[in-house]
Amino acid sequence: AGEVPVQQLRQMMLALGFMPRQAAVREALIAVNASGKASLSFGDFLRLIVAYMHSEGFTKQEVADLKRIYCNTSDANSQFMPICLSGALMRMFGTQAKKHAPTVLGSFIHGGSSKGLGLSRCSLVEGGKELQPLSFAEFVAISSRLVLAIKRERRAEFSRLDTDGSGALDIGELKAALHNLGYEPRDVVIKEVLDRVDFDGDATLDLDEFLEFITLFDIRDGFSQEELNEIDRTFSMFDTDGSGNMDITELGEALPHLGFAVSTDDLHLLTATVDTASCVLGLPEFRALVRMQRDVELRRLEMAF
């Protein structure tokens, strides 16, 4: 009596309005339940919720990564200006952030989602005029809301594709989901990622496995691990000034190294598609650009044959 079974934590958090992330819940659980008891007292459950809320649903490593990106994106005066926000979110969450960031930011600008977060409209951008810099706490809070927006979309996608109501997606349904997310899914990459998340080995994904699959697929930007390693090595090789960013000149040298012949005009068009008004590409944007170019060439080959 008065205790919460550990196995029911996820259901309890959903009932309280959270969309719990497994890794962050697991980390918070270790902090309040070091002995590994099968159930939590009500006090321990409250402490877990406080710990989860304090980190905005991120793990310690993710918070450290957010801090590094925040510091690296800040200007010479150590101020993180709102114009840099989309680029910073893409560096943390990949190109998926570009789609959702405007909606999330819009809710903050109009005050609808800033209650209780210490955010104000003057922290962001209003009327096209850049205003006050963002604090790290505000950056983390916005990042958390971005993750929730992405997760909601993917839960809806899962439900839409689970036409038989089985609570699981097969490979065909998974490929359809990837197509809807803008990928050209390849069997070799699907198998590689599936091997890491399909814990019961039945070649189907329940909701949690699906969310983990898409997160990992996004991090890889649809590439195999071998391809990703080559792309990352190329980025480092042609980032000649070691800035962590790549300008048009460096990009024009890097793409032929990966086997892509791109004209100057096409190079500017591609860059405009993935860039966030910074005129340079970080590693996530570079990966996205390479994927876009590869997908274009794959479609050309399919049309030729």
pLDDT tens figures, 102-119: 778 777 666 544 333 333
Q: What backbone torsions phi and psi does residue 185 show, to the nearest 5 degrees?
A: -65, 135
User: Rounded to whole angstroms, how far apart are CA atoms 36 and 18?
Assistant: 23
User: For residue 239, what are the CA distances in angstroms to 5, 14, 97, 133, 232?
Assistant: 51, 44, 23, 28, 10
Write out the chain's pLDDT in tens, 305 residues. 578 888 888 788 888 878 777 778 888 888 888 888 888 888 888 989 998 888 888 888 889 989 988 998 888 788 888 777 877 888 788 777 877 877 787 776 665 443 333 334 334 444 545 457 888 988 998 898 898 888 888 888 899 888 888 888 988 889 988 888 888 888 899 999 888 877 667 788 888 788 888 888 887 888 999 999 999 999 999 988 887 888 888 888 999 999 988 887 878 777 777 655 555 677 878 888 898 888 877 777 777 76
CA atoms within 13 A on the CB side of 188: 5
User: Rounded to whole angstroms, how far apart are CA atoms 90 and 288?
Assistant: 10
Confidence (pLDDT) at 110 = 62
Confidence (pLDDT) at 117 = 38
